[in-house]
Amino acid sequence: MLQSKSQKPVHHALRACSGAMLAIFLVSAVVNVLMLTGPLFMLQIYDRVLASSSVPTLVVLAGIAIGLYLMGGMLDILRLRALNRIAMRVYARLSGPAFRANMRMPVLMGRRAAGMAPHRDLEAIRRFLGSPGPAAIFDMPFMPFYFLLIFLFHAWLGTLAVVGGVVIACLVITNEYLSRGPSRELSGTSGAQSRLMGAARRNAEVLTSMGMFDSLSRRYSGAVEEHYLRQQAMTDHSNFFSSVIKMLRLMLQSAMLGLGAFLVIQQEITAGVMIAASIIMARALAPIEQAVSHWPSFVAARQAAGRFDEAVQACGDPAATEGLPAPTETLRVEGLATAAPGEQAPLLQGVGFELRAGDGLGVVGPSGAGKTSFARALMGIWPALHGSVRLDGATLDQWPEAERGRFVGYLPQDVELFDGTVAENICRFAAEPDIMAILKAAKLAGIHQMVTALPEGYETVIGENGARLSAGQRQRIGLARALFGDPFLVMLDEPNSNLDMVGERALTTAIGEVRARGGIVVVIAHRPSALTALNKVLMIQDGQQVQFGDRDEVLDKVVPVTKASGSREMQFDAV
């Protein structure tokens, strides 16, 4: 179901850990009470042990203090371990939505997705949740408790502590306000750097063969320098406020000692109270100083959570009808208009036709006419600005995505394979692959002998993007993947662009087999020879439907038969 705008995945993941966080808060309360061990021990030393010169009292107090210190240390270790487990639990809960959003953003958000990387945002959230930063946040609510204790010692001491706390709190708020912009810019430069690195990795062959390494290296160096400058500015900003707050804390601690000494001289407090008040105030302000030191990661995590929520919500599944049967009869396109994701200017419009089970449609037209745009709209990859694509009367988005994949096969113009075995790529990485269905798809695509000739047959690992295979082999494995499971609708975008004569014959046979079992095949072609096994043709030109009808009738209008050979040899680019 499509998530409502009020739903925030990060918020929901954190709420799922609310019980653990409540436990951490209670542990933090005990830890903060145990933090009084040092001040109270000093108070007893100055006011009781030194006054009485009692060694047994000193030994007992020291034993109690050691026990309390050990308990506090163990609870603090437990708290940090719990925070780390919460971080990993949130990460595990959101990793699925992050992967899904990362996959769907380019086709749903277009250029808006350029600055988003859900997996990187999730990693920023995990790093902060697993750091000591949240522990400092859990300690902050106990600051008034420490200030109250100082007030109980003496009103002047309490007033000094509160004034110092207010000044430091103002600095924290100022730091928060001023760090938003630099943190956002830093995230942008980090994303640009990562995108350039990814593009260079994907196009390593082009960079190597065409001598583009130095040019891209200079551009990457420029991106690194920009990121370095932003990182430097952010670090300088954080270090400035951290140093100022640390300086104020030390000054306040000394001021507390000075005021305490004055009150001791006036015989209003004891020396032990003077020391204890100074230590308690330092403890009260310590969470603020620690929080400021982790402030960049906190701001980065908060902004990452906002981007993550936006990406996941934008990439949510539309409402689907459970139990809707797979289509078996018709494909109907009604006044279809489409545009690139995130754009409003249509690249294709006015397309309408109907195909029945067993039909094969060839989509022809010159380069840039809108054929690939049509294929993406037909598969539901690109949004329909107007009109609809219906299978047996239902639009594609009425089926859940996983169920829709069982009756749709797609071979894109640029075939992308995944790092895995040949069998895994053919069966679309199914959890429980059907080996007979894999063999059937491979034989239908005419690659069974080719695959068995590989070193490990169907279990051969092909590497990232099929690096171990030729372009033709990748295309034919992609064809087998599109045919896997006997889908009702098969969309092939220039399936013969890298095929030899044997591959073209296998393609023609495969198209005939799909039609014979009652499926519908749509083929985008640049050469009339690819239309041999089809019975319908759709002509697209300048983003508009020009012709639709029986194959020979349409081709006679757009590509006349050559008298010398009695065949159509012209490519549609020349039409």
The pLDDT value given to residue 156: 92
Question: Under the phi-then-psi rule, with left for phi > 0, alpha for psi from -120 to 50, and beta for the rest, what region is 518?
Answer: left
E-state strands within 370-488? 384-391, 394-395, 408-411
- Give DSSP secondary structure letters for 465-491: GGTTS-HHHHHHHHHHHHHTT--SEEE
Position 199 in a domain: yes
User: If you search the block for the tokens 């449609």, which residue do you land on?
Assistant: 361
Kindly state whether residues 416 and 398 are assigned to the same domain: no
The pLDDT value given to residue 564: 40
pLDDT band at 570 (very low <50, low <70, confident <90, very high): very low
Position 98 in a domain: yes
Percent of the chain at pLDDT exceeding 70 = 87
The mean pLDDT of 317-338, rounded to a whole number, is 79
Least confident span in 437-441, 479-483, 501-505: 501-505
Kindly state whether residues 354 and 219 are assigned to the same domain: no
Q: Read off the pLDDT of residues 17-27 as tens digits, 9 standing for 90 and up.
A: 888 889 999 99
Position 4 in a domain: yes
Total number of domains in the chain: 4
Kindly state whether residues 457 and 547 are assigned to the same domain: no
Position 299 in a domain: no
Position 298 in a domain: no
Distance of CA 96 to the CA centre of its chain: 9
Report the side by side order of strands in the sheet with 544-550.
394-395, 384-391, 330-338, 348-356, 544-550, 536-541, 360-364, 520-524, 489-493, 408-411
Q: Read off the pLDDT of residues 429-469 as tens digits, 9 standing for 90 and up.
A: 888 888 999 999 999 888 898 889 888 888 988 876 666 77
Angle at 280 between CA 276 and CA 286, to 5 degrees: 150
> Closest Cα partner for 234 from 178, 170, 306?
178
The pLDDT value given to residue 281: 86
Kindly state whether residues 463 and 567 are assigned to the same domain: no
Q: Kindly state the helix (H) or strand (E) to which residue 368 belongs, with its residue range.
A: none
**How much is the mean pLDDT over the chain?**
82
Q: Mapping DSSP to helix (H, G, I), strand (E, B) and coil, where does residue 11 land?
A: helix
> Closest Cα partner for 192 from 103, 116, 301, 107?
116
The count of C-alpha atoms lying within 13 angstroms of the C-alpha of 97, restricted to the half-sphere facing its C-beta, is 26
Q: Read off the pLDDT of residues 536-549 as tens digits, 9 standing for 90 and up.
A: 999 998 888 888 88
Position 322 in a domain: no
Domain of 525, CATH number, reads 3.40.50.300
Rounded to whole angstroms, the Cα distance separating 359 from 534 reads 7
Q: Read off the pLDDT of residues 349-405 as tens digits, 9 standing for 90 and up.
A: 889 999 999 999 999 888 888 888 888 888 888 888 888 899 988 888 888 877 888
Q: Which of 433, 453, 486 is the last residue of a domain?
A: 486
User: If you search the block for the tokens 């990187």, which residue do you land on?
Assistant: 120
Position 180 in a domain: yes
Domain of 207, CATH number, reads 1.20.1560.10
For residue 66, pLDDT over 90 is answered with yes
The mean pLDDT of 303-329, rounded to a whole number, is 75
Kindly state whether residues 359 and 253 are assigned to the same domain: no
The pLDDT value given to residue 323: 64
The pLDDT value given to residue 228: 77
| pLDDT: which is higher, 565 or 496 | 496
| pLDDT: which is higher, 217 or 522 | 522
Rounded to whole angstroms, the Cα distance separating 478 from 308 reads 32
Rounded to whole angstroms, the Cα distance separating 514 from 271 reads 94
Q: Is 398 exposed, middle or buried (0-12, 13-18, 19+ CB in 10 A)?
A: middle
Least confident span in 144-158, 164-178, 199-213: 199-213
Kindly state whether residues 401 and 468 are assigned to the same domain: no
Kindly state whether residues 202 and 262 are assigned to the same domain: yes
Q: Which of 486, 512, 532 is the last residue of a domain?
A: 486
The pLDDT value given to residue 542: 87
Kindly state whether residues 282 and 309 are assigned to the same domain: no
Kindly state whether residues 208 and 278 are assigned to the same domain: yes
> Closest Cα partner for 490 from 520, 445, 531?
520
> Closest Cα partner for 150 from 276, 59, 263?
276
For residue 283, pLDDT over 90 is answered with no
Position 160 in a domain: yes
The mean pLDDT of 496-521, rounded to a whole number, is 86
Rounded to whole angstroms, the Cα distance separating 284 from 147 reads 7
346 — phi, psi (to 5°)?
-70, 140
The pLDDT value given to residue 74: 94
Q: Read off the pLDDT of residues 227-256 as tens digits, 9 standing for 90 and up.
A: 777 777 777 777 787 788 888 888 888 898
- Give DSSP secondary structure letters for 286-333: HHHHHHHHTHHHHHHHHHHHHHHHHHHHHTPPPP--TTPPPP-SEEEE
Rounded to whole angstroms, the Cα distance separating 90 from 82 reads 12
pLDDT band at 207 (very low <50, low <70, confident <90, very high): low
The pLDDT value given to residue 110: 61
Rounded alpha-carbon distances, angstroms, from residue 428 to 61, 117, 250, 478, 482 = 69, 24, 63, 10, 9
Kindly state whether residues 196 and 175 are assigned to the same domain: yes
Range of the structural domain that residue 347 is part of: 328-407+500-575
The pLDDT value given to residue 551: 85
pLDDT band at 191 (very low <50, low <70, confident <90, very high): low
Kindly state whether residues 14 and 55 are assigned to the same domain: yes
Percent of the chain at pLDDT exceeding 90 = 14
The mean pLDDT of 115-127, rounded to a whole number, is 82
Kindly state whether residues 372 and 394 are assigned to the same domain: yes
The pLDDT value given to residue 2: 39
The count of C-alpha atoms lying within 13 angstroms of the C-alpha of 83, restricted to the half-sphere facing its C-beta, is 24
